[in-house]
Amino acid sequence: MASSKSSSGSEALSKMSLEQLKAIKEQADDEVNLLQDSLSNIRNATARLEIASSALNDLSLRPQDNWVLGLKGPHHLGVSVLLRLLSKWIISIKFVGKKMLVPLTASLYVPGTLDDADKVLVDVGTGYFIEKTTNEGKNYCERKINLLKSNFDQLVEVASKKKSIADEATVILQAKLKQLTPST
Amino acid sequence: MSSSTAFRELQRELETKANDLSKLQKDIAKNHQVRKKYTIQLGENELVLKELDLLKEDANVYKLIGPVLVKQDLAEANANVRKRIEYISAELKRLDATLQDLEEKQNSKKDMIFKLQQRIQSLQAGKGKA
């Protein structure tokens, strides 16, 4: 069955029996769903990266504000920065002398002071963190975003091809069913 | 009489072969899962290696060990990540070999089951005529 899927599309599909057609349609639908999930994952990750990147931007532009560290996402009191939790590319920031609120739990914040606003620790995966300047951090975010965007585009291509196969299979299946059970 | 015992025996054989086949298929599925995990880890480690390669000699690298961020030497971090990549690649190769082996066994089991089914069918046809 798998080999006939890759051969000349609709002719191969229409030659197949009803059972095979149903199986192929289901398989193609499952694949399309998987691909859609991956696509939305990539979109989420890209969004998080862009948030981190803009936070870095703000950090470098406005170091005088009071800072609030958010556990789950940026709130806008001055600007807050994402801490490591959900995202892989969350950046933890060492601060400089400014007053800020540090989250200890999701509902408990403690006042603290900043240490150094020029360096950021970037989570690069597998437990490794790299100290970079805010500019390098921004570069990192941009690189990752570009990588994700190209992955996204590739996936979109594959997904649309799979979807067209699934749609064709559905159409042919319905046509065959109509042939077998003509309703007057 | 003897034909029905032979019939029953064939059926029993078919059952055991079918059990073997389903066990093989479970093993193959597990193999796929482990392969997926390793492939993801490999990709992650290669990303880390790329980042580490971009660093200058004096950049600070930290590793998260439990709840502690420990400062690491860049050369050491590089070596560690490389070793991990090698290990994962070796594991993946091993899994590939196992997978091929399992798939061959699965195909031969399927053939045996098919032949058994044919024999059973011909027996039934023979019994029917007699």
Interface of A with B in 115-144 (CB under 8 A): 121-122, 124-132, 140
pLDDT in tens, B81-130: 999 999 999 999 999 999 999 999 999 999 988 888 888 888 888 776 65
Q: Tell whether the model's pLDDT for residue A70 goes beyond 70.
A: no
CA distance A57 to A34: 35
Terminal CA-to-CA distance of chain B, rounded, Å? 12
User: CA–CA distance from B112 to each of A42, B107, B115, B124 (Å)?
Assistant: 45, 9, 5, 18
- In this structure, how many other beta carbons lie within 10 angstroms of the beta carbon of residue A1? 11
Evaluated on CA atoms A151, B89, B62, A68, the torsion sign reads: positive
10 Å CB burial of residue B74 (0-12, 13-18, 19+) is middle
Task: State both tokens at A33.
Answer: 């769903």
Could you say which of B45, B60, B62 has the minimum Cβ distance to residue A126?
B45
Q: What is the pLDDT of residues B48-67, one digit of tens each?
A: 898 888 888 888 889 988 88
- Nearest chain A residue to B84 by CA distance is A126
- Please name the residue that has the structure tokens 């020029």: A118
Whether residue A131 and residue B64 make contact (CB cut-off 8 A), yes or no, is no
Average pLDDT for A47-56: 88
Q: What is the predicted pLDDT for the residue at A146?
A: 92
Q: Count how many residues are written for chain B.
A: 130
Does the distance separating the beta carbons of B44 and A125 come in below 8 Å? yes
**Tens digits of per-residue pLDDT, A8-51?**
566 666 667 778 888 888 888 899 999 999 999 999 999 999 99
Q: What is the pTM of this model?
A: 0.69
The secondary structure of A39-58, three-state, reads: HHHHHHHHHHHHHHHHHHHH
For the residues A82-95, what does the mean pLDDT come to?
A: 38
